[in-house]
Amino acid sequence: MRGWIVPPPKEPTKSREKLKEERQKKIKWLIRHRYLRSERIRDAMLMVRREDFIPLLYRDYAYLEVPFPLPGAEATISCPHSYPLFYEPLGLNKDHKFLEVGLGSGYGTALAREIVGRDGLVVSIEIDPLTFEFAKRNLERAGYNDILLVKGDGGIGYPDMSPYDRICITAACKEVPPPLIEQLRCGGRLIAPVIERGIQYLVLLEKSDKGLKEWTICEVLYVSLRGRYGVTEE
C-alpha cells in the first residue's frame, strides 16, 4: 500500500509544446498554492523538463501531483510540489555546495544544479544500482555533465567534498544519519523526512556552533531510507 493512485502506464502521445504548456501551468499552480516563492527555484522549475526524468510509459502524466515508480527496488520520482517543499525552507541558492541523498530519477538533482549555478556544486548519492543508471542516463541526455553522481549508501554521506552548505535526504529515516550532520557546514541546513511514532514529518535542521536548531514543517510520505542508517537494516 503506497498511499497514492498511479494512473495506468500508456504510450506517450503529448508533444513537447503541450508538455511545456503543462509545465508553465504547474509553476503558476505552485506559486498560487505558496509552495514556490523564490525566483531561482521558479526559474529552475521552468527550465528543467520533468518529462525527461519520467519512465516513458508515464511521461504524459509528468505534471500530475503523483509520484511514479522508477527502475529499482523502491524508488519513485516525487510529485512536483515536493521539490519547492524541500528547497524553499532549505534556502537552496546560488553557489551552494549541495548534497542529495536519494538521486531517484535525477529530476531534483537537475533542479538543484540549475539553482546553485556554475559556481556551486551538486553531489548526489543513490543506493540502488538500477535507479542510479536510470538517473545517470536521464541527466546525461538532458545535458547535465558536471554533477558528481555516487553509487552507494548516502547515509554515510560523501566526506570527500564536505562540508556542505545544504543537504537533502529524499527517503524517510528513523533519525538523521549522524555522518550527514557531521558533513554539514556550520550555518548550513539539512532537510529530511523523519519517522516519529509511525508518521513521517519533514524536518529542517540548522547547524550552528551552539548546536542544532530543528523545525517540523508538515507530514509527508516517502519511501524508506535503506543502508546502514535505514529503516530496516540491510
Ligand X SMILES: C[S@@+](CC[C@H](N)C(=O)[O-])C[C@H]1O[C@@H](n2cnc3c(N)ncnc32)[C@H](O)[C@@H]1O
The catalytic residue positions are 78
Q: Cα separations (Å) of 113 from 44, 47, 79, 99?
A: 9, 11, 19, 11
Classify residue 191 by its DSSP letter. Answer: E
Nearer to ligand X, 20 or 151 (CB): 151
Query: Which has the closest alpha carbon to 164: 211, 205, 123?
Result: 123
Q: Where are the strands (E) in 91-230, listed by range? A: 97-101, 121-126, 148-151, 164-169, 184-196, 199-208, 211-219
Shortest Å distance, C-beta 208 to ligand X: 26
Spatial neighbors of 111 by CB under 8 A, at least 6 apart, are: 41, 44, 45, 48, 83, 87
Shortest Å distance, C-beta 126 to ligand X: 5
Nearer to ligand X, 60 or 211 (CB): 60
Nearer to ligand X, 75 or 203 (CB): 75
Provide the phi-psi class of 161: left if phi over 0, else alpha when psi is between -120 and 50, else beta.
Answer: alpha
H-type helices in the chain, by residue range?
A: 16-32, 39-47, 82-90, 107-116, 129-141, 178-182
C-alpha cell at 198: 509511525
Query: Which has the closest alpha carbon to 223: 63, 133, 103?
Result: 103
Residues that bind ligand X (CB under 6 A): 72, 74-78, 101-102, 104-105, 107-108, 125-128, 131, 153-155, 170-171, 222-223, 225-227, 230
Cα gap 142→223, rounded to integer Å: 25
Nearer to ligand X, 31 or 221 (CB): 221
Shortest Å distance, C-beta 214 to ligand X: 21
Shortest Å distance, C-beta 106 to ligand X: 7
Nearer to ligand X, 209 or 233 (CB): 233
Angle at which helix 39-47 crosses helix 107-116, to 10 degrees, equals: 130
C-alpha cell at 149: 553522481
